Chain A
Amino acid sequence: MMDGEVGTDKQRMQQPKKLSKRIGALLALHAVLFLYSFTGILGKFAAEYDVLSLPFLAYYAGVIALLGIYALAWQQVIKHLPLTTAFANKAITVLWGMLWGLLIFGESINAWKVIGGIVVAMGVILFVRADSDDLAADSKDDLVGEDL
C-alpha cells in the first residue's frame, strides 16, 4: 500500500492526470467527508437520550452504519487521489462541525472559534504535508492507519 502512495505522488508529478478526473476524484472525496460529518449530527442527537433507550440505539446504529459506509467509501476514493491530498482535505470536517452546530443545534460562532478552527485546520494540513515529505524520504513507513 505504502509504495503505491509514493508511486501515486510521483506519477502525478511526471504526468498530471486529466483535470476533469482530478476534479471528479476531489468531488467524490468531499462527498465522502460530507457524509462523514453526519456521524457527528447523529452522535449529538443520540446524546440527548438515555443510553439503551430506543432512540439512543437507533441513532447509535446510524453512527456505526455511517462510519462503516465512510470507511468503505474512503478506501475507494483514495485509490484515485494522493493520500496527502485526501488527508489534508479532511480538515474540512472542522467547518462542517461548526456549520451543523450552528444550523441544527443553535450553537454560537464567534471570532475565537473561527480563528481556532482555521489554526487547527492549518495544523492538520501542515502535518499531512510534513508526513508526506517524510514518506518520500523514507518509503518504509506508513501513516498510522486512521481511515475510521
Chain B
Amino acid sequence: MIAYAAVYLFGVFISAISQVLLKQEALKEHDSIIKEYLNPSVVFAYVLFFAATLMSIFAYKAIPLSLGPILEATSYIYVVAFGALFFKERITKKKICALVLIIAGIVIYSLGV
C-alpha cells in the first residue's frame, strides 16, 4: 500500500517535471508552429505526462480512489520548488505555510486509511 502510494507520488513529481519542460518551451521563440510542438523537449514532456498517468493507474491497484486527489496536492510543493529553481519565482512565508498545511492534511488523511 505504501509502495503504491509512493508510485502515485512519484507520478505527481514526474508530471510536475513535464509541466516545467512545457513551460520552458512555451517561453522560447520557435521558428515554426511545428517546431513548437515537435521538439525533443516537448515530446519528452508528453512522454513523462503519459508515464505519470500510467503510474497513477498502477497505484490505484492498491490505494483508494479518494487518496488520489489528496496525494495530487503534493504538486504544489513542486510548483514552489521548480518555480524558484527554474523561473526565479519567490518562495514566500505564506506559500510555505500553505505547503505545511497540505502536508499535514495528507498525514492526517493517511491515519484514516
Q: Which residues of A contact B59 (CB under 8 A)?
A: 47
Q: Say if the beta carbon of A93 comes within 8 Å of chain B.
A: yes
Question: In the complex, what distance in Å separates the CA atom of A96 from the CA atom of B22?
Answer: 28
- Structural contact, A144 and B82, CB atoms closer than 8 A: yes
- Per-position 1/0 for A23-46, Cβ under 8 A of B: 000000000000001001101101
Give residues of chain A (41-57) contacting chain B, Cβ–Cβ below 8 Å: 41, 43-44, 46-48, 51
Assuming the contacts A116-B110, A124-B76, A127-B98, asked whether A105 and B65 have C-beta atoms less than 8 A apart, the reply is yes
Give residues of chain B (83-113) contacting chain A, Cβ–Cβ below 8 Å: 83, 87-90, 92, 94-95, 97-113
Contact stretch, chosen from A5-13, A14-22, A74-82, A135-143? A135-143
Assuming the contacts A102-B66, A107-B65, asked whether A112 and B92 have C-beta atoms less than 8 A apart, the reply is no
- Per-position 1/0 for A116-148, Cβ under 8 A of B: 111111111011011101100010011111101
For the complex formed, measure the closest distance between the CB of A92 and the CB atoms of chain B, giving whole angstroms: 9
Question: In the complex, what distance in Å separates the CA atom of A129 from the CA atom of B113?
Answer: 29
CB closest chain-A residue, reference B112: A112
- Per-position 1/0 for A85-117, Cβ under 8 A of B: 000000001101110111011010111110111
For the complex formed, measure the closest distance between the CB of A42 and the CB atoms of chain B, giving whole angstroms: 9
For the complex formed, measure the closest distance between the CB of B42 and the CB atoms of chain A, giving whole angstroms: 12
- Structural contact, A40 and B79, CB atoms closer than 8 A: no
For the complex formed, measure the closest distance between the CB of B97 and the CB atoms of chain A, giving whole angstroms: 7
- Structural contact, A113 and B112, CB atoms closer than 8 A: yes
Q: Say if the beta carbon of B9 comes within 8 Å of chain A.
A: no
- Structural contact, A122 and B101, CB atoms closer than 8 A: yes
Q: List 28 A-B contacts (CB under 8 A).
A: A37-B69, A47-B58, A47-B59, A60-B53, A93-B69, A94-B69, A97-B67, A107-B65, A107-B66, A112-B108, A113-B66, A115-B108, A116-B107, A116-B111, A117-B70, A117-B105, A119-B109, A123-B103, A129-B94, A130-B97, A134-B92, A141-B88, A142-B23, A144-B79, A144-B87, A145-B23, A146-B19, A146-B75
Instruction: Give me the 10 closest cross-chain CB pairs, A-B, nearest first.
Output: A112-B112, A116-B109, A119-B105, A120-B105, A123-B101, A130-B94, A123-B102, A127-B98, A101-B66, A116-B108
Q: Which residues of B contact A (CB under 8 A)?
A: 15-16, 19-20, 22-23, 26, 49-50, 53-54, 56-61, 64-70, 72-73, 75-76, 78-79, 82-83, 87-90, 92, 94-95, 97-113
